[in-house]
Amino acid sequence: MTGKPDQHQQAESVADRIIERLGGRIVLALPLGLGKANLVANALFERAVDDKAIDLEIFTALTLERPSGSSDMERRFIEPLNERLYSGYPGLAFAKALRDGSLPENVRVSEFFFVAGRWLSVENAQQNYVSANYTHAGRYVLDRGINVVAQLVAKRGDGADAEYSLSCNSDITLDSLPVLKARREPVLLVGEVSSQLPFMPGEAVLPAGEFDLILDGPDRDRPLFV
């Protein structure tokens, strides 16, 4: 994770570069809650859907989804709310596939923290749930053999002088990176720039050279989950 990162404007090219560098076995770590690089995750998921030779494992927590209704009355109430609050928010494709039972066999998703009650009727999600205290979550990430960490980031500056703030839920990423690098095995740190994410200072700030790939394109202005 040294040198100037590869800069990309489209999530699809980031996914292709990840596959090119790591091959067909991808173990993707996405931060808890808002910190997920949704566009990168979606692009990798679509590549795995299209190519069964790709083995994709996703380890994350607190997947955020737009509200949904189970009846016509609920949908008529929720749809205007979704349009007002979540229009433009890129939902996670793997979460939709989990929920509707279309997750392919070459993709596995494990979470160590659920939004209360959201996955009660989804057997796949329940069976792959990891009961972990947050204190030990970093250890579980490392034990999974992670080779990609993809995080939403805020940006300050340009070019080689650019700095990126992990901004939200940065603790596990910051604790895990030194251990991952010390293993001297292929591992990629991927940043997905959001212009809506606040730039938080301090230990959350990383220089450009810490990243292997950066997604910074026209989708950087998409709204955050509220």
pTM above 0.95, yes or no: no
Helix axes 38-50, 11-22, angle to 10 degrees: 60
Q: What is the pLDDT of residue 5?
A: 92
Rounded Cα distance between 223 and 85, Å, is 9
- Residue 103 pLDDT: 96
Dist. CA 1–CA 102, nearest whole Å = 35
Alpha helices in the chain (DSSP H): 11-22, 38-50, 72-86, 93-100, 123-127, 137-143, 171-182
Please list, in sequence order, all residues whose beta carbon lies within 8 angstroms of the beta carbon of residue 203, skipping any fewer than 6 positions away. Answer: 170, 174
CA distance 217 to 7: 9
Percent of the chain past pLDDT 90, that is, above it, reads 64
Alpha carbons within 13 angstroms on the beta-carbon side of residue 17 total 20
State which fold the 6-221 domain adopts: Glutaconate Coenzyme A-transferase (3.40.1080)
Q: How far is CA 2 from the centre of its chain?
A: 22
pLDDT of residue 3: 56
CB of 224 closer than 8 Å to CB of 168: no
pLDDT at position 207 is: 93
- pLDDT averaged per 10 residues in sequence order, the chain, 226 residues: 80 98 96 95 98 97 83 79 80 94 96 83 88 85 93 91 91 91 92 96 94 95 88
- Residue pLDDT, tens place only, 116-159: 777 888 889 889 888 888 888 888 889 989 999 999 999 999 87
- How big is the CA angle at 13 (ends 17 and 18), to the nearest 5 degrees? 25
